[in-house]
Amino acid sequence: MDRRKSLKLIATGVIATPIAIAGCKTDDKKSTAADDVKFNLDRNPDELKYEKEILAREKFFTKHEIATITVLADIIIPKDDVSGSASDAKVPEFIEFIVKDMPNHQVPMRGGLRWLDMQCLKRHEKSFKDYSHEQQIALVDEIAYPAKAKPEMKQGASFFSLMRNLTATGFYTSSIGVKDIGYAGNTSTQWNGVPEEVLKQYKQAYSEKELKECVSFDSK
């Protein structure tokens, strides 16, 4: 199964739910909710009110954390010939929204990001976002497959499972992701009857009654 098919399964809930991991609080200064983030989705008045309340809250992730999330998300779903990347689909903004809407994700996400940076600092004295792409991929490979992860990497594997699930959900519920899947939704159609050339081929024709009652040629 290729990467995008696997992620589509994650997004539809076929693959297991994420595992919570312990974390610690960062000392980085938080940014405020001044950015006017909007999700172009249909909402009833109560949902719009709730969404605005969530968006108005103080930013949870620091700039450093969001930068790391963006790198990870684009490793999980990079841009390709089919569609844009996870960050093109505003997955980092989606994850920021989710951790405020569902606070149970806050500790696992912050703890996982801190774990990732600590691993990088121990190895090369640089944070994950400052690693080269090759170094980032090498570390991700150690935590991307929980069943194969070494005991000392299990915490990272749990975090990456959560990150992968959130990324897939955010991507495949965005307009970019929906187009990637090829989902047309409840697209309205209009049947204007059997095409004229087919009727002629079989020497058939609509009666006046059929044209009046059964076939619509409304051009709207």
pLDDT tens, residue by residue, 85-107: 999 999 999 999 999 999 999 99
**Token digits of residue 103:** 């606070």
Interval 151-158 mean pLDDT: 96
Give residue-wise pLDDT tens across range 23-55.
Answer: 334 444 444 444 444 554 566 788 888 888 888
User: pLDDT value at position 42?
Assistant: 63
User: pLDDT value at position 149?
Assistant: 95
Cα(181)–Cα(5) distance, rounded to whole angstroms?
9
Nearest CA to 139 among 126, 87, 66? 126
Interval 163-177 mean pLDDT: 94
Cα(171)–Cα(85) distance, rounded to whole angstroms?
8
pLDDT band at 193 (very low <50, low <70, confident <90, very high): confident
The region of weakest confidence among 17-31, 102-116, 140-154, 190-204 is: 17-31
117 vs 210 pLDDT, higher one: 117
1 vs 209 pLDDT, higher one: 209
Number of alpha helices (DSSP H) and beta strands (DSSP E) in the chain: 10, 0
Which amino acid is residue 159, in one-letter code? F
User: pLDDT value at position 5?
Assistant: 58
Encode 46-84: b = buried (16+ Cβ within 10 Å), e = exposed. Answer: eeeeebeeebeeebbbbebbbbbbbbbbbbbbeeeeebb
User: pLDDT value at position 31?
Assistant: 45
Cα(220)–Cα(218) distance, rounded to whole angstroms?
6
pTM of the predicted model, to two decimals? 0.68
Displacement of CA 153 from its chain's centroid (Å):
25
End-to-end alpha carbon distance in the chain: 43
Encode 112-142: b = buried (16+ Cβ within 10 Å), e = exposed. Answer: bbbbbbebbeeeeeebbbebeeeebeebbeb
User: pLDDT value at position 10?
Assistant: 54
CB 23 within 8 A of CB 109: yes
pLDDT band at 17 (very low <50, low <70, confident <90, very high): very low
**Token digits of residue 101:** 């809407």
- Decide: helix, strand or coil at residue 1: coil
Which amino acid is residue 136, in one-letter code? Q
Cα(141)–Cα(70) distance, rounded to whole angstroms?
17
161 vs 184 pLDDT, higher one: 161
CB 144 within 8 A of CB 159: no
